[in-house]
Amino acid sequence: MSENLHTLAAAYALDGLTDVERRRFETHLIDCDGCAEEVRGMRETAARLGAAAAQEPPEGLRDRVLAQAARTRQAPPRVHRPSSVRARRLGWLLSAACLALAVVLGVAAVREQRTRERVDALNREIAAVVSAPDARTVTGPVRSGGTGTVVASRSLGKAVIVMSGLRSLPPAKTYELWLMGSRPPRPAGTMRPPATGAAGPVLATGLGDVTQIGLTVEPASGSPRPTTAPIFAVALS
């Protein structure tokens, strides 16, 4: 009977026992230092795994975990049978390792799904602006080189901005879009185009009394207000 109670340590640590089993095991814990230590270790590990699940894993962690698993040589089965205590602890460690991997893969999958959902939602908004009955397209030159195109819908209060042929900027600088009108300019997003010079589309919302959309060069982190003169500006009807 005592040996059977030993096997309940993991279930007790994870609140998986019935009321009757829990009372029996708690009575057993009074005189079993080994089980008490095992329960403490399991609860600490479970708490760490729970904390890990609340954080987003770094980029590429899923691929590194899977690659390491593929490279790791699996140990051959042993002929002798380990002691019951060692077997229980080995089983717990294996379970914890599997749970840790499941947490990493699960969080990564959730993050990927949310990213897809955000991209899909943005694409739907952009399509709605471009296909709106009152959509108006305006194109203008960028003083430092390149062209900007704005598609705006007053009924939706949104605009889609696409740039092409932009020059590369040093790491400390970025392009920033602005909504300009009767009020002070409001930031509408930053752009760091690749070598091709293409950037966007960027979706700007809250057009309201906006009469122009402009572009400036700002510090890499962006600015709450323009710090340089616009190198691109087009008027909205």
- Judgement on whether residues 56 and 91 belong to the same structural domain of the protein: yes
pTM: 0.54
| % the chain with pLDDT above 70 | 61
Does any domain span residue 162?
Answer: yes
| Bridge partners of residue 151, in order along the sequence | 137, 160
Same domain, 114 and 222: no
Q: Is residue 194 part of a domain?
A: yes
Question: Is the model's pLDDT at 89 over the cut of 70?
Answer: no
Q: Is residue 196 part of a domain?
A: yes
Domain membership flag for residue 64: yes
- Domain shared by 9 and 86, yes or no: yes
- Clarify whether residues 195 and 115 are in a common domain: no
Q: Are residues 31 and 140 in the same domain?
A: no
**What does the block give as tokens for 76?**
């051959």
Is 131 domain-assigned?
no
Residues spanned by the domain of 151: 136-235
Q: SS3 sequence, the chain?
A: CHHHHHCCHHHHHCCCCCHHHHHHHHHHHCCCHHHHHHHHHHHHHHHHHHHHHCCCCCCCHHHHHHHHHHHCCCCCCCCCCCCHHHHHHHHHHHHHHHHHHHHHHHHHHHHHHHHHHHHHHHHHHHHHHHCCCCCEEEEEECCCCCEEEEEEECCCCEEEEEEECCCCCCCCEEEEEEEEECCCCEEEEEECCCCCCCEEEEEEECCCCEEEEEEEEEECCCCCCCCCCCCEEEECC
pLDDT tens-digit series, residues 54-88: 455 555 555 655 555 555 554 454 544 545 555 55
pLDDT at position 170 over 70: yes
Let me know if residue 89 belongs to a domain: yes
Domain final residue pick, 63, 94, 122: 122
**Is residue 192 domain-shared with residue 101, that is, in the same domain?**
no
Per-residue tokens: 67: 């690659």
Instruction: Give the bridge partners for 143, in sequence order.
Output: none
The verdict on residue 129 lying in a domain is: no
| Cα–Cα distance, 81 to 65 (Å, whole number) | 30
Based on the fold, state whether residues 105 and 169 are members of the same structural domain: no
Q: pLDDT-based confidence at 1, cuts 50/70/90?
A: very low
117 and 142 in a common domain: no
Asked if residue 185 is part of any domain, the answer here is yes
User: What was the pLDDT predicted at 54?
Assistant: 46
Among 72, 66, 4, smallest CA distance to 35 is for 4
The domain tally of the chain equals 2
